[in-house]
A and B are shown apart, each in its own frame.
Chain A
């Protein structure tokens, strides 16, 4: 754990802190249609035209059911739209590589994945998708699924801030304004910056490069039907293959990467994601990409404080997120820097720790930091192989996702997930001040507790249920490339990533099978939409409540005590559920590593 790492970490947090307030203030303007932004001269006419085309009456607000229904319908239609593009890309333009259609299960998985802001990829982008599929079918969702998340968070915050109110805003207005005023302009600037760092942005066919020094690899010999040939000993027959050429993928990368990060989508243009030189060319691009993952989530905490007129509450939530983030980074960094004792014993360990699966340009600290950030927020972009982390290093991303993506989290989703914990913390500890628990003056009653717990239950069910099924079914086991606890971690990670709408993969798991495509697709749908419904019901319930005026007897939702309380609630209620299975996965693996056993 070198000084340079500490300095970078400090710089990262300082930068995050610095952009939180400006972002929060801008969010206030975007999310309140009455307010003006400096983009109004350009975008206001466009906004008006959009409403006219969509037939939206912008000043008609919706109650929680209408809002949720609009969101669900929009997501359904856009999901089907993308599914159609993926299946029909052969007939659509911008397909210089002439890629054929995606298989039905993979297309389902991919369409769901992008609709739910998960961006789990069971395919390699550059070898499967046309530019049109990427730019229209997927990028569309990169924008709107992010906008949906932010809109839902805004609706929940309005529910908290309003009182005796039936409505929470208008979904279509939120969707349009977030896309036009927030995501598009920032992405435009961001993409230009990325190009300045050397990121590519073109529509060229892939480039073939002749290797200066051809090399040979030994690969499994395939029969005519594509199946691996087995020798007499039952092992695959290997054959030598000489590689003389390299295909260098091209494409409109910068524009995709901007929204991939800002919208915590994480779906890479390239299969190697942010480890690919074209997707992450410089240390500066790496830093700015990491910042852009957290910026909206962080700004939303300021937006929360500002909107409910208790800025300290917003900062308390921010502090909890930052504390959990720091704890994760430090553990992952420590574990990776410590490295693998077996490698060390054999004298093959890289200096400075575990470098397996890491891009040498980024090294240990920036890999650990990126891994933590991308799993704190449900981004899922990666610049290293989480699968190759040490057991504890890999535990951190897994744990982050299982907490429910609440450490800044997916744009919007992080805030509304965290507010579920706030409500639970207030309820449990609120009784201890001798009053019916109150969150910012609103009594938390049976209905609210029910909805908050329902959201938790959904997450738990879709992770543990599917993972347990995978662990004992032949379809689940078929996809495993690693045995023992590490294989369990891979299964667990896949469904956690799906249900948590993260989208990063532990790799090592062949997810592109009909079974995994379907089950992970379902876990993404459940983790997104079945969680949103109770949360929106909570928003509706909170909005209708009366506010009791604050007094010395009110429950404090700011300050150190509240921060500790919320941390404790997140860890006790959110994490303990996963501890037994984590013990069977990364924790056992960690101890076995010290006994000289690897998987």
Chain B
């Protein structure tokens, strides 16, 4: 299930965010973001200057106000991003309300607050009990409502042993009784981590974010140097550059746009994952997902639909396809396996055959047994109809069956059987009496659209590897059909782990999904390990993400979200730096105009006056942060078109756009300012 994001400016998020923007002015918090810290110091200096100013006071006050707005807008962006997470967290927190646990001590039950539970305790949960903490089912089977964390109302089965033993604190048992061994103390549980993540409370900067912060800080230092040295250069040129004007220049030149939006981008990246019901243990994992270039994908559930399906009827010579389909359908009517059902469905689809007369026909169904390795149906002879004996089964079973009845196994059918096997399918031979009617082809059905998806991934430079327990022949056929780059047949957990290590040794970053306990080492080894929520506690601990929907296809979404986060950061950085060009053309002529009126031609935007030019640049600089908040929260559109095409596209939009947009924006603001006679 995918949760709809709240509208970008939902009042319930915006209102507290406004308050928080002011609260974030605390210098200790601001110091974490050097670019905005410098902006705030500049705003403070300008405010002081406004009080001290003898001339141009109106102008300096306006400057100060807009500089403060710049800081507040940046804080607001972060606050909105956090607010969106907080809304999620609040709903999660409701699930965490105080519960009473029924602890088993020496096989006696005692009631203790959930907070007192420690690792290793055993607790009992029956229908309507809330599971007090994360744990593993050690006894019994129960259906559990996990809506609190997944938002999915359909209950799921949790049972001891096997790969569906993990339960999460805060979820509710709906039926039956289970005994749970607590694996995680309260406060460190899954739900707690989830809340902390969503709220961004424990958010640590990711490696790329750190690198970017260094770049932005260094640019800030350079521009501070530029502005500080302008004062002596001004003295030399008999031009006095006032502090407010130098601050305005500084704030316009330092990358405030990306500096103000950087943390919002990171928070909203995680937020987007959570909305797709994926829990990452860290922002680092999300970023790593963007870097992944090898995906290990489980065949079943990710690449193919769960089960084999009948895909074709291949009749023996001189047998009509309808006849084969009819017999196969009759033989499968009582077969409740997905394969059997798919034969019925295929016959219905291809020849409009329905199993209608079966009930009247006093048919006797023959179930599949390990001895005969066949199933089928026997019709007694009634109303002049001859008796019919229809069997379907593996090729050698039917051969023996037909031989015993004195029939011939036609060579053409043998050929069909071989061909189907070679193509990765499973042949099922149908015989009526001693006559072989033909073969039903059962195949793994590749999910619709998956081939295109893999092609997109290939364009992004991501290699897909299919993991399957099938034999190499079958695996190769499915791999070819699905369009994966490589496959591992008859894969064991050890083989998976080995493969991951090999890929990593060659410099690749690997992502995989897994659910069973035996997947845990591979999940831990992978750079991005996505555990299925239905999986074992061991698997959930080993991975660095958990998919609450337990949908392995989502690995691809995760990679895309990771990429999108990086793209958004890069695009806004480029935009922010490119913006400087226009700001130069606004501010530099304005600063020099008083002393060197001859420089007027440099004022290519024809801005109204020096003060309006400087003010317009500062206002643009502030407003662009607000204007880009939606983009920061939503992320730059990600298109799987290859690195070069994407670079060209984003360079054009955010690079060239970043140069042009402010020219237009500053000019427009200047028109408004001069019309209102503000400067």
Which residues of A come within 8 Å of B, CB atoms? 424, 427-437, 441, 443-446, 448-450, 453-454, 456-457, 460-461, 464-465, 467-469, 471-472, 477, 484-485, 487-488, 546-549, 551-556, 559, 561, 564-565, 568, 572-573, 576-581, 583-584, 587-588, 591-592, 594-595, 597
Contact = CB atoms under 8 A, between A and B. Distances in A.
Contacts of B577: 428, 572-573
A464 B226 contact: yes
Q: Which 9 A-B pairs have the closest CB atoms?
A: A553-B461, A431-B570, A434-B563, A551-B461, A453-B218, A468-B229, A432-B570, A471-B236, A446-B211
A6 B509 CA distance: 52
B89 interface: no
B644 A559 contact: yes
Contact of B507 (A445, A448, A457, A549): A549
A551 B215 contact: no
Contacts of B655: 429, 565, 568
12 contacts: A429-B574, A434-B564, A443-B291, A453-B218, A460-B222, A460-B226, A465-B225, A467-B233, A553-B293, A553-B462, A565-B647, A580-B588
A488 B598 contact: no
A512 B474 CA distance: 84
B580 interface: yes
Given A444-B211, A453-B215, A434 B290 contact: yes
Contact of A472 (B236, B508, B647): B236
- For B207, B234, B235, B461, the residue with the greatest tally of chain A CB atoms inside 10 Å of its CB is B461
Contacts of B291: 435-436, 443
Contact of A556 (B207, B293, B580, B647): B647
Given A434-B460, A472-B232, A572-B581, A591 B507 contact: no
Contacts of A434: 290, 460, 562-564, 566-567, 638, 643, 646
Given A576-B253, A579-B584, A429 B507 contact: no
B222 A457 contact: yes
Contacts of B564: 434
Contact of B214 (A430, A449, A471): A449
Nearest to B218: A453
Given A429-B647, A464-B226, A572-B578, 6 more contacts: A429-B655, A484-B237, A577-B223, A583-B588, A584-B592, A591-B599
Interface string B568-596: 01110110011011001000100110001
A83 to B, nearest CB: 31
Contacts of A591: 596, 598-602
Nearest to B587: A580
B584 A552 contact: no
A432 B647 contact: yes
Contacts of B226: 460, 464, 577-578, 580-581
Contacts of B644: 556, 559, 561
B463 interface: yes
B541 to A, nearest CB: 26
B507 A577 contact: no
A436 B288 CA distance: 8
Interface residues of B, number: 77
A432 B218 contact: no
A419 to B, nearest CB: 16
A453 B563 CA distance: 25
A581 B651 contact: no
A430 B562 CA distance: 14
Contact of A584 (B233, B571, B648, B654): B233
Contact of B602 (A443, A460, A580, A587): A587
A343 B212 CA distance: 51
Interface string B636-660: 0010001110111011001100000
B341 to A, nearest CB: 41
Nearest to B206: A436
Interface of B: 207-208, 210-212, 214-215, 218-219, 221-223, 225-237, 239, 249, 253, 287, 290-291, 293, 458-463, 506-509, 562-564, 566-567, 569-571, 573-574, 577-578, 580-581, 584, 588, 591-592, 596, 598-602, 638, 642-644, 646-648, 650-651, 654-655
Contacts of A454: 218
Contact of B458 (A465, A471, A552, A554): A552
A469 B459 CA distance: 54
Nearest to B207: A445
Contacts of A584: 230, 233-234, 236-237, 239, 592
Contacts of A444: 211
Given A432-B650, A579-B584, A461 B232 contact: no
A471 B460 CA distance: 53
Contacts of B293: 548, 551, 553
B507 to A, nearest CB: 4
B570 A453 contact: no
Given A436-B287, A576-B253, A427 B229 contact: no
B460 A553 contact: yes
A559 B651 CA distance: 14
A340 to B, nearest CB: 15
Given A460-B225, A552-B642, A432 B215 contact: no
Nearest to B213: A446
A553 B643 contact: yes
Nearest to B654: A432
A552 B643 contact: yes
A472 B235 contact: yes
B572 to A, nearest CB: 9
A469 B646 contact: no
B230 A580 contact: yes
Given A435-B566, A548-B508, A572-B578, A469 B648 contact: no
A468 B461 contact: no
A584 B237 CA distance: 7
Contacts of B236: 471-472, 477, 487-488, 584
Given A432-B647, A565-B651, A548 B507 contact: yes
Given A427-B211, A431-B573, A561 B507 contact: no
A81 B370 CA distance: 95
Given A584-B237, A595-B598, A428 B592 contact: no
A365 B591 CA distance: 35
Given A430-B570, A583-B588, A546 B461 contact: no
B64 to A, nearest CB: 22
Contact of B566 (A436, A453, A548, A595): A436
Contacts of B214: 446, 449-450, 453
A561 B651 CA distance: 9
A472 B241 CA distance: 14
B161 to A, nearest CB: 41
Contacts of A573: 219, 577
A554 B207 contact: no
A428 B576 CA distance: 11
A469 B507 CA distance: 50
- For B584, B596, B642, the residue with the greatest tally of chain A CB atoms inside 10 Å of its CB is B596
A32 to B, nearest CB: 24
A461 B225 contact: yes
Nearest to B292: A435
Contacts of B223: 577
B580 A576 contact: yes
B465 to A, nearest CB: 14
A579 B588 CA distance: 9
B238 to A, nearest CB: 9
A415 to B, nearest CB: 22
Contact of A436 (B232, B290, B592, B647): B290
A485 B233 CA distance: 10
Contact of B570 (A428, A465, A572, A578): A428
B218 A435 contact: no
Contact of B651 (A424, A471, A547, A564): A564
Contacts of A551: 293, 461-463
Nearest to A572: B577
B206 to A, nearest CB: 10
Contacts of A549: 506-508
